[in-house]
Structure 1
Amino acid sequence: MQATSRLRAFAATAALLAASAIAHAQALPNVVILATGGTIAGAGASAINSATYAAAKVGVDKLIAGLPELAKVANVRGEQVFQVASESLTDDNLLTLAKRVSALAKQSDIDGIVITHGTDTLEETAFFLTLTVHTAKPIVVVGSMRPGTALSADGALNLYNAVNVAASKDAMGKGVLVTMNDEIQSGRDVSKSINIKTEAFKSQWGPLGMIVEGKNYWFRAPVKRHTMQSEFDIDTITALPPVEIAMGYEGVLSTAIDALGKSGIKALVHGGTGNGSVANRIVPNLQKVRADGVVVIRSSRVPDGFVLRNAEQPDDKYDWVVAHDLRPQKARILAMVAMTKTSDTKELQRIFWEY
């Protein structure tokens, strides 16, 4: 009789615990991690290999399993979208990823989305998502500068912070975010500034906030158009027009400009020196490229500052566009997206001011 009573009590306790676990899980936000590879999924030969390693080796399920703390933040599940080092991603990969993010964002049972990504082109993907995915739900792109096998690896905390931000209601409506080195950065503004330190991602305008022990602290909000305010929608984009970059430097020749101008591209970003300066000997070559129907966009290779229109070059006279504060690689992303709708230079200039 006593044994039967004990069994009943045990069963009742187990049922209560199960019900409590279910209620706890139901109360947590639902976050999907879309994995694309990169250093955050990398592995080195030993613990001292922080800069020498193979990227894109660890699958998303293993990344999640290695962070049991995530279970206290959100109901997390993962999808392996790609498994590549980010320098090898293509425009088609961008389209595939953005369309998957958009589809998940439309699901009522999804509260936030995290994308694990290699750091080499992380800023480009983050900006592309900023421009094309229509949602107020948090989208967070995250990577690491050291593989998980290294001493003082940064990936685990970066990923924990990313899930924490993606699960937070206070991150809604702030556009696509990047969480690295305890900072919350705007996906539009942030760029990789160094290749061997964990504080690699910076914005000249500063971070939006910080994450400390799982709590978000916000200090500013993005003012450029993004996500819900964007006139571009990934659900209507089927292909991206070809846009290339030609860099400026001392002694530059017109070789790259001439070749790219004949390659069938729709726009050419010139990554000039200083204020988007263009060497006098290649100005006629850029004018010819524009006369042949290719849009010329004047950017700068300088990390900070912005390009002033009709300074250094008479942009109105030449019918060129200036990239504002976007570095060449981000100017290329915006040009591709914008030119899915227009090739009119006045409209393109408006877009570069607003985004």
Structure 2
Amino acid sequence: MSRHIHLLATGGTIAGEADPAGDGSRYTAGVRSVNTLLATVPDLAAAAEISAEQILSLDSKDITPTDWLQILAAARHALADPAIDGLVILHGTDTMEETAYFLHLSLPPGKPVVLTGAMRPADHPQADGPANLRASVQLAADDTAWNKGVLIVMNGTVHAARWLGKARTTGLDAFNSPRPWAEARPDGRFARCEPSTLPRVDILAGYAGAPADLIDACVTAGSRGLVLALTGHGSIPAAWLPALRRARDKGVAILRASRCVGPVIRNANADDDDEGWLTAGDLPPPKARIALMLALATGKPGDWMNDL
């Protein structure tokens, strides 16, 4: 029996076209419609019954939390349809790992959800989008993709959203994962939450001489959470402590992460319990930010941030 796979298109390089004023290295993302992209892969009908909708037409560098909520609403609506067996989302690669992890936390387990994109625009002579789209539909129609959480297909490789990272600026093999996708497990801890907005959470980088006044500036601008992308094992500069305590006393959630590969272990190298700080474990700062945004939107952060 043929599976019914629904496509959500959000733009990205996979729908891009070269800039005629450029030298071939520049292009505009999100130009082509999903129906135009489908026409380049006529053999998809052999893999599954296909339906599609265009919900955004963005370069993924311009994706915002408001856009995440729009993608989430469309994805939840599609997955709730008993006639739909799986979902494929077309997305730009710059922030693919962020959108994928947001959906991994906020979609229910069960039906396959697969993100894909391209490193070359649609009008490139060796465009990689059609092959990625084909492979994504095939995976979404496969029983092995059920109950794995959100998956990503790029360059013939499957990745799990929890571990995916874009590691290179160019090349078809731009993405890495430290663990195989077969080990993935669903999360969906926010699947029953319906936030209308997501609170502002900022990432502050730790580096030699990083100024503490950036902490105060973020709080003044309305941040409800700060993810600290710190050096080493989440080492907080001594000069930051007064500003972090001021932020904490104003109700701002503080989360220690590292710019290195984790983990950041709770109460190791800092008095997290005494200071009221959260820790990211081995989540990289951009993904820790997403988890904290959802946690702040739905309740006390400490109730949601365990075992991410």
TM-score (norm 2): 0.94
8 Å contact from structure 2 (residues 155, 172) kept in 1: yes
Q: Select 1:352's aligned residue among 290, 305, 308.
A: 305
Counterpart residue number, 1:72: 46
CA distance in 2, matches of 1:144, 1:49: 19
8 Å contact from structure 1 (residues 181, 199) kept in 2: yes
Give the partner amino acid of 2:36: K
SS of equivalent residue, structure 2 residue 44: helix
Give the partner amino acid of 2:285: P
Question: CA offset at residue 272 of structure 1?
Answer: 0.8
Superposed counterparts of 1:212-291, under 5 Å? 220-223=182-185, 226-227=187-188, 230-234=189-193, 236-291=194-249
How big is the alpha-carbon RMSD for the aligned residues of Structure 1 and Structure 2? 1.8
Which has the greater radius of gyration? 1
Give the partner amino acid of 1:65: A
Question: CA offset at residue 187 of structure 1?
Answer: 1.1
Question: CA offset at residue 305 of structure 1?
Answer: 2.6
Give the partner amino acid of 1:221: E
1:130 correspondence with 2:91? no
Question: CA offset at residue 201 of structure 1?
Answer: 1.3
Count residues with an aligned counterpart.
307
1:194 correspondence with 2:152? no
8 Å contact from structure 1 (residues 305, 325) kept in 2: yes
TM-score (norm 1): 0.82
8 Å contact from structure 1 (residues 50, 146) kept in 2: no
Counterpart residue number, 1:309: 266
Work out the percentage of aligned pairs sharing the same amino acid.
36
Offset from partner CA, 1:305-339 (integer Å, 9 cap, x none):
31111222211121100011111111111011112
Counterpart residue number, 2:255: 297
CA distance in 2, matches of 1:94, 1:123: 12
Relative to 1, partners in 2 of residues 1:273 and 1:50: Cα closer, same or farther, differing over 3 Å?
farther
Relative to 1, partners in 2 of residues 1:121 and 1:50: Cα closer, same or farther, differing over 3 Å?
farther
CA distance in 2, matches of 1:344, 1:245: 16
8 Å contact from structure 2 (residues 292, 301) kept in 1: no
Give the partner amino acid of 1:298: R
1:55 correspondence with 2:29? yes
CA distance in 2, matches of 1:98, 1:119: 18
Offset from partner CA, 1:2-53 (integer Å, 9 cap, x none):
xxxxxxxxxxxxxxxxxxxxxxxxx31111110000111111148x977421
Question: CA offset at residue 152 of structure 1?
Answer: 2.9
CA distance in 2, matches of 1:319, 1:116: 39
Ranges in structure 2 where 5+ consecutive residues have no aligned partner: none
SS of equivalent residue, structure 2 residue 54: strand
Give the partner amino acid of 1:326: L
8 Å contact from structure 2 (residues 101, 150) kept in 1: yes
- Where in structure 1 do 4 or more consecutive aligned residues deviate above 3 Å? 48-51
Ranges in structure 1 where 5+ consecutive residues have no aligned partner: 1-26, 209-219
Counterpart residue number, 1:4: none
1:327 correspondence with 2:280? no
SS of equivalent residue, structure 1 residue 297: strand
Counterpart residue number, 2:294: 337
